[in-house]
A = this chain, B = another copy of it.
Amino acid sequence: MNAEIIAIGSELLTPFRQDTNSLALTAKLNELGIELDFKSVIGDRRSDLINAARIAFGRADIIIFMGGLGPTEDDLTREAVAESLGLALRRDPRLEEELRARFAAHGWKMADNNLQQADVIAGAEVLANARGTAPGQFLRAEFRGKQKVVMLLPGPPHEILPMFDGACVERLRSIAPPRNIATRVLRIAMVGESLADKRAAAIYKEHSDVQTTILAGAGEVQFHLRAQAASQAKAQKAVDTLASKLEDEFEEAVFSAHGESLEQIVGYYLQMRSATLAVAESCTGGMLAQRITSVPGSSRYFLGGAIVYDNSLKSDLAGVPPLLIAEHGAVSEQVAAALAEGIRERCKASMGAGITGIAGPGGGTEQKPVGLVFIAIADDSGTEVVERRFPGDRDRIRLYATQLALDTIRRKLM
Give chain A's interface residues, CB within 8 Å of chain B. 10-18, 20, 23-24, 26-27, 30, 35-43, 45, 48, 51-52, 55, 59, 70-73, 108-109, 111, 113-114, 131, 158, 192-195, 197-198, 201, 213-215, 224, 279, 281, 284-290, 292-294, 296-299, 302-310, 312-313, 316-317, 346-348, 360-363, 391-396, 398
Contact = CB atoms under 8 A, between A and B. Distances in A.
Given A26-B15, A215-B16, A38 B40 contact: yes
B285 A293 contact: yes
Contacts of A303: 309-310, 312-313
Contacts of A12: 39
Question: How many monomers of this protein are in the complex?
Answer: 2
A2 to B, nearest CB: 10
Contacts of A20: 18
10 tightest A-B CB contacts, nearest first: A285-B293, A286-B289, A286-B286, A15-B27, A39-B41, A286-B290, A303-B310, A304-B307, A304-B309, A15-B26
Q: Is the interface of A mostly helix, strand, loop or mixed?
A: mixed
Given A41-B39, A309-B302, A313-B347, A113 B194 contact: yes
Nearest to A24: B15
A41 B36 CA distance: 10
Given A113-B198, A281-B286, A289-B286, A215 B11 contact: yes
B306 A310 contact: no
A13 to B, nearest CB: 5
Given A158-B396, A224-B14, A286-B289, A305 B304 contact: no
A18 B286 CA distance: 27
18 contacts: A10-B213, A14-B36, A15-B23, A15-B24, A18-B18, A18-B23, A38-B48, A72-B193, A72-B197, A111-B198, A293-B309, A294-B395, A294-B398, A299-B363, A303-B309, A305-B306, A305-B307, A317-B347
A317 B346 contact: yes
A194 B111 contact: yes
Nearest to A303: B310
A307 B309 CA distance: 13
B39 A13 contact: yes
A163 B334 CA distance: 38
A10 B55 CA distance: 19
Contacts of A24: 15
A349 to B, nearest CB: 9
A23 B12 CA distance: 9
A194 B114 contact: yes
Given A13-B37, A114-B194, 17 more contacts: A14-B26, A14-B36, A14-B224, A15-B27, A38-B40, A38-B41, A71-B197, A72-B197, A113-B194, A158-B393, A158-B396, A285-B294, A293-B309, A297-B362, A306-B306, A312-B348, A313-B347
